[in-house]
Structure 1
Amino acid sequence: MNAATELKAPLAPAFLDTPTVDDGGAMWRIARDSRTLDLNSSYSYLLWCRDFAGTSVVARDADGAPVGYVTGYVRPEEPRTLVVWQVAVDAAQRGRGVAAAMLDHLAARVAVDDVCRIETTITPDNAASQRLFTSFAERHGLPVEREVLFPGALFPDGHDSEVLFRIGPTV
């Protein structure tokens, strides 16, 4: 599979690519500006682009600048499971299917390594993420299981509960 995938309208001329450490700063800014994601340190985005680029994707505009990303990793205890950590799209690109295209692209890329399940956690008030992952499962004819993975009481900072969405398996 090609490292970069061109997107068709309404996304053209954007394309999907594997992130590099040069993208880390832009990814941090997209997360910060989302005002909904938990913002990790800028260092963590650089590290993510170095160590988990193969299980992540970045959407680029016509000039090659990042306008969205999905970060993920393969669970060490379950090597057929991709955990999606964050999905973010620049405000100017939202509503164009960028997040869905990135998720589809990443799922297809990791499937060649026998990854057949996706997990992510979503807070109960994040309707957009719930729609994204539910529609992904529907598009691919996959079952979705939901359960609270981390109750809010576990978080020392008043964070809401995180609900695990387990999608798949594909086989």
Structure 2
Amino acid sequence: MRVTPLALGRHLEQVLAVQCRANRFDGVETAARGAVLRRRIGTPALDAVGAFRAGELVGYAYGAPLDDGWPWARHVMAELGDAPGGGPYAGLGRPYAVLELHVDPGSWRQGVGRALLHRLCAPVSQRWVLLTRQRSATAAGRFYAALGFSELGVSVGDEGYVAMAAGRARGGPPSCPFGGR
């Protein structure tokens, strides 16, 4: 498996196919996710990585420093007490947000998600990483917990998403930015 930077615009159809298979989306949901992705492609500071096996995209992730222009971001930071002394991540500055991470089901439990997350987050300067996941995605919750992420007790949006965060390991190698277990 090879994990490399990914040009989302050039790989849009493969990215959507992976996301659709990973989440069992129908055509309507896939089209809606495609519209979101097309809008995000032009986001300044957006980083994306892809995992390829035998030339085929088997997973991808993308993220960016948290942007207050995202309605959910303002909500999460307000809930966490984005002020000195307010909340477990207050005083650490703004987080890096992992916006999407999806792995084709045929490649689950093979280290693809971990490799994507490490490659995406290793070069960032933020001291903590924030992501959201569907509350019903308990396997994803266990995956992120194994990497050192904790649920923050903050719901996001009306679709049942929960926020999770991890601090970056101090003194760890760049390929392993999280404490994790």
Task: Please indicate, yes or no, whether the TM-score normalized by the shorter chain is above 0.5.
Answer: yes
CA offset digits 1:114-158 (Å, max 9, x no partner): 222111112332112111211111xxxxx73511232xxx53xxx
Aligned position for 1:3: none
> What amino acid is the match of 1:132?
F
> What amino acid is the match of 1:126?
A
In structure 2, do the counterparts of structure 1 residues 134 and 27 end up closer, same or farther at CA, with 3 Å as the change threshold?
A: same
SS in structure 2 at match of 1:59: strand
**Which 5+ residue runs of structure 2 have no aligned equivalent?**
69-76, 78-92, 171-181
Aligned position for 2:84: none
Higher relative contact order (CA 8 A, sep 6+): 2
Aligned position for 1:86: 100
Q: CA deviation at 1:59?
A: 0.6
CA offset digits 1:65-86 (Å, max 9, x no partner): 3110112121135974111122
> What amino acid is the match of 1:128?
A
Q: CA deviation at 1:53?
A: 7.5
Instruction: Tell me, in whole angstroms, the C-alpha distance in 1 between the residues paired with 2:134 and 2:42.
Output: 27
What fraction of aligned residue pairs are identical, expressed as a percent? 18
State how many pairs are aligned: 142
| RMSD (Å) for aligned C-alpha atoms | 2.6
Alignment of 1:70 with 2:81, yes or no, is: no
SS in structure 2 at match of 1:68: strand
Instruction: Tell me, in whole angstroms, the C-alpha distance in 1 between the residues paired with 2:53 and 2:24.
Output: 22
Aligned position for 1:22: 10
Counterparts of 1:1-171 in structure 2, within 5 Å, are: 14-20=1-7, 21-35=9-23, 39=30, 40-49=32-41, 51=43, 54-63=46-55, 65-77=56-68, 80-110=94-124, 114-137=125-148, 144-150=150-156, 155=158, 159=159, 161-168=160-167, 170=169
Aligned position for 1:7: none
- Does the 8 A contact of 1:148 with 1:164 survive in 2? yes
Aligned position for 2:80: none
**Which 5+ residue runs of structure 1 have no aligned equivalent?**
1-13, 138-142
In structure 2, do the counterparts of structure 1 residues 102 and 121 end up closer, same or farther at CA, with 3 Å as the change threshold?
A: same
- Does the 8 A contact of 1:48 with 1:71 survive in 2? no
- Does the 8 A contact of 1:25 with 1:46 survive in 2? no
> What amino acid is the match of 1:167?
A
Q: CA deviation at 1:165?
A: 0.8
